[in-house]
Structure formats: C-alpha cells, structure tokens
C-alpha cells in the first residue's frame, strides 16, 4: 500500500474518531510559486502533497466528514521560541 494512502487513512480515522472535519491549505498553485536554487526546487517539486490531499478528501467523503480548503496566506508563522530568539 502506498505511503500516501496509509497517512490519509490515519488522518481520516483520527478525524472520524474525534468527530472533526478536515481543513487543508489550498496548494493548487504552490509549484508555480517555488523558485529557489536548482537542488531545492527539485526536492520541493517531488513532494506528493496534492496526491495526499486528494486521498484525504476521498477517504473523508466516504466516511461523511467535511473537507474545507483555506488560503495558505497567514497559516504559517514562527513558533514562540523562534520569535523570542
């Protein structure tokens, strides 16, 4: 079984067990925004993030869980330790 399927199943099972919906960032245009050096670009472009999202969405819908996509703007920030450094 592919690793993305296993991860998606665990996420959906956790959400179902705790009676939660699933919220994910809308990463539709992330590949077009990546522009670092050649090595880092290669690593970032090889991620399976969209495949994982589609598996999560599919499995969540089978279990009757809502899935919501939100804009990634403002969802990442520094942790308290990093801010104080």
Cβ density class 16-35: b for 16+ within 10 Å, e for less:
eeeeeebebeeeeeeeeeee
Give residue 79's Cα distance to chain centre. 19
The residues spanned by each domain of the chain are 3-73
Cβ atoms within 10 Å of 76's Cβ, excluding its own = 7
Residue 79 pLDDT class (50, 70, 90 cuts): low
State if pTM tops 0.75: no
2 or 8, which is more confident: 8
Q: What pLDDT does residue 19 have? A: 95
- Residues 39 and 45: their CA atoms lie apart, in Å, by 10
User: Which residues are within 8 A (CB) of 70 and not within 5 positions of it... i.e. 6 or more apart?
Assistant: 23, 24, 25, 26
12 or 74, which is more confident: 12
- Gyration radius from the chain CA atoms: 15
Task: For residue range 17-63, list pLDDT tens digits in order.
Answer: 999 999 998 877 665 666 667 777 666 666 677 788 999 999 999 99
């Amino acid at each position: 079984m592919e690793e993305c399927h296993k991860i998606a199943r665990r996420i959906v099972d956790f959400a179902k067990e705790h009676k939660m919906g699933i919220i994910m960032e809308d990463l539709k245009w992330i590949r077009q925004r990546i522009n670092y050096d050649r090595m880092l670009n290669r690593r970032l472009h090889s991620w399976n993030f969209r495949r994982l999202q589609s598996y999560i969405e599919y499995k969540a819908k089978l279990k009757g869980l809502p899935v919501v996509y939100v804009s990634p703007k403002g969802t990442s920030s520094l942790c308290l330790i990093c801010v104080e450094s």
